[in-house]
Amino acid sequence: MTIPDSQGWPLAGEENVKQKILFVCTHNAGRSQMAEGYTNARYGNRYDAFSAGTEPGTLNPHAVRAMAEIGIDISGHRQKDLSAFKGVEMDVLVAVCKGGRCPVFLWAMKVIHREFADPSRLADTDEEIMGGVHRIRDDICAWIDETFGVR
């Protein structure tokens, strides 16, 4: 039996069973990749995080750099199509898309939609793009801490 925490989330680790989280965005290039990397690095003892996209693109190099700056290497991540997870049960699906159509995923026990800005829409100098990616990364990390870090 898993015991829910104060927010109603099952506490992984009570029976040494990790909860599975799938982060989804359109291109699986920035937001979902950062969320997967951060969750596994910070809470890997309690969660197995994955990411996918509805239209997978190319891994965003600015997201890779922003994560490396906080000691998390996502450079080896690859983009995955959401269909690769068809039939794979997940405890939580988190759609991190902003203003797009959220996917239907029938194999998740709980679905959360949390909008974050799309780093692929940032344009200007490298310094300004990185500033925007830092804000997005920090927003994602803070939300994950608040949502999944509570025991």
The DSSP annotation for the chain comes to: ---B-TTS-B-TTSSS--EEEEEEESSSSSHHHHHHHHHHHHHTTTEEEEEEESS-----HHHHHHHHTTT---TT----BGGGGTT--EEEEEE--SSSPPPP-TTEEEEEE-----GGG--S-HHHHHHHHHHHHHHHHHHHHHHHS--
Distances (CA, A) of 53 to 4, 24, 63: 29, 5, 15
Contact (Cβ atoms closer than 8 angstroms) between residue 12 and residue 19: yes
Choose the catalytic residue: 25, 122, 136, 144. 25
Choose the catalytic residue: 11, 41, 70, 102. 102
Choose the catalytic residue: 52, 90, 97, 133. 97
Examine the residue annotation and report whether 141 is marked as an active-site residue of this protein: no
Q: Which residues are catalytic?
A: 25, 97, 102
